[in-house]
Structure 1
Amino acid sequence: MPRKAAQVSEADKHAAEGGAVAVDRALFLLRAFRLGDTALTLAELAQRSGLYKSTLLRLLASLEHARLVVRHADGRYGLGPEVARLHAVYAASFSLETAVMPVLRQLVQDTRESAAFHVEQGEHRLCLYRVDSPQPVRDHARAGDLLPRNRGAGGRVLRAFAGARGQLYDTIRREGVATLVGDRVPDIAGVSAPVFGPGGELRGALTLTCPASRYRPDFRTDVLRAARALTETLGGSFPFDD
């Protein structure tokens, strides 16, 4: 009889509800490769996935057949050429706007406040995308506006994760979110969190703005959750709790 696992493997913890177990395990195995890995031993793959080596060998045989994994002469495993081909297809079809706008729309739907995505532009920050609050009283910044990089929640986040010094920036780096009132415009509150891409590079700041009188503490959670969703869509890892 096959051995019964003493506990649920990491691969099975991340299985899709109603999905195919073998497919979920194989895809999780590909995700076991991290930035900086060139090749992994069977033991390392077992440790990261929590799967038995006998199960791993069957999965690796299928992945190798699909050229998603290659087995090196020393017995270690690395990512295969099909991964590079799929990345090229994805990169050619990728649109930042397509990734960002649904997240902004959902954030506005959840909060009924305005949401924007800011990127660095020299000594300023550019409001690259924006979705307005449905309420008539709101911050009236627009997509395409250049805003201060040293004022406002979005600007503070960009500076913090670019290495700016000071207690405020230390706090933002530690908590992963900036909440400020009147920092750029009097009586306007802003909540902003960083968005990361593959390798941890900063892609921008996701920002919610509203009149100070409508600010709610739970906006922090809303913004962190949205920043996590966008980071994952961009292929990054979000290091902060919602």
Structure 2
Amino acid sequence: MPRKSSQLPDGAPNTEGAPASGGVVAVDRALMLLKAFQEGDSSLTLADFAARTQQYKSTVLRLLASLQHFGFVQRNDDGRYRLGPEVARLARLYTGSFSLEPLVMPVLRDLVDRTRESAAFHVRQGDQRLCLYRIDSPQPIRDHIRAGDLLPLDRGAGGRVILAFEGARGEVYDQIRRDKVLALKGDREDGVAGVSAPVFGDQGQLLGALTLTLPTQRFQAEFKKVVRQAAEQLSQRLKA
């Protein structure tokens, strides 16, 4: 039987408690397993998880199976569990967002001021792209993507730019790599146009895509030059 919280081993985090208001109990329990890892832990046993979270071993085993499926934990040959690569990926996104924000946001604001259209910065997240930063157009008719939304990689200018500079094959991607900018109409959604250009880091690695989105009837050919110049400016700032 799981022990009471007063019997937690010395130094173990007290992760027991009521589920989050409006939350899902199973999700709370799974996250408790991740929080069970402490400084200096390279791996934990099933018994360690059960003791530190006050959950039955049978429950812990099922939750670990789900966490393992999504890459949050990995199971060693000896049956112990360690943190998985998905944790590291999220940590990189988290820390990277703080270092990028002071540089990306002024460029987005300038794009919106110059074009009066919506500007965003997209990064790859698995098989999708994440809208990491976004500033809306001041005009009432616009698309309504928000920062934090996930969008397809294989549709829309931002997604196709990311794919191109990650090595996607095909004539369209070859053209994107040559031009370093892409304009599309109705590719992700009917009535929406997008103009996107790649942003690179100090080692020449792709960081993401700087994208302007607008109703197709407001598209202007000059936006391609404006977006490409903004992306090049941001890349230079990131290399400084």
Common fold by TM > 0.5: yes
Q: Counterpart of 2:162 in structure 1: which amino acid?
A: L
Pick from 111, 114, 119 the counterpart of residue 115 of structure 2.
Answer: 111
Give per-residue Cα distances to partners, 1:132-184, cap 9 Å, x unaligned: 00000001100000000110000000000000011110100010011100000
Structure 2 unaligned blocks of 5 or more? 1-94
Q: Counterpart of 2:206 in structure 1: which amino acid?
A: L
Partner of 1:26: none
Q: Percent identity?
A: 63
Q: CA deviation at 1:199?
A: 1.7
Q: CA deviation at 1:95?
A: 2.1
Structure 1 stretches of at least 4 aligned residues deviating more than 6 Å after TM superposition: none
Q: Counterpart of 1:228 in structure 2: which amino acid?
A: E
Give per-residue Cα distances to partners, 1:178-197, cap 9 Å, x unaligned: 11000001010000000001
Whole-Å Cα distance in 1 between the matches of residues 229 and 171 of structure 2?
24
Whole-Å Cα distance in 1 between the matches of residues 143 and 236 of structure 2?
28
Partner of 1:96: 100
Partner of 2:163: 159
Partner of 2:221: 217
Give per-residue Cα distances to partners, 1:61-106, cap 9 Å, x unaligned: xxxxxxxxxxxxxxxxxxxxxxxxxxxxxx99x7210010000000
Q: Is residue 2:239 matched to residue 1:235? A: yes
3-state SS of 1:198 partner: coil
Structure 1 unaligned blocks of 5 or more? 1-90, 237-242
Whole-Å Cα distance in 2 between the matches of residues 226 and 217 of structure 1?
15
Pick from 190, 193, 199 the counterpart of residue 195 of structure 1.
Answer: 199
Give per-residue Cα distances to partners, 1:29-66, cap 9 Å, x unaligned: xxxxxxxxxxxxxxxxxxxxxxxxxxxxxxxxxxxxxx
Partner of 2:210: 206
Partner of 1:133: 137
Count of residues in correspondence between the two structures: 145
Whole-Å Cα distance in 2 between the matches of residues 150 and 112 of structure 1?
26
Partner of 1:60: none
Q: Counterpart of 2:209 in structure 1: which amino acid?
A: A
Q: Counterpart of 2:169 in structure 1: which amino acid?
A: R
3-state SS of 1:233 partner: helix
The normalised TM-score by structure 1 is: 0.58
Aligned counterparts, 1:29-68, within 5 A: none
Whole-Å Cα distance in 1 between the matches of residues 159 and 236 of structure 2?
22
> C-alpha root-mean-square deviation of aligned residues, in Å?
1.6
3-state SS of 2:203 partner: helix
Partner of 1:146: 150
Q: Counterpart of 2:197 in structure 1: which amino acid?
A: A
Q: Counterpart of 2:102 in structure 1: which amino acid?
A: T
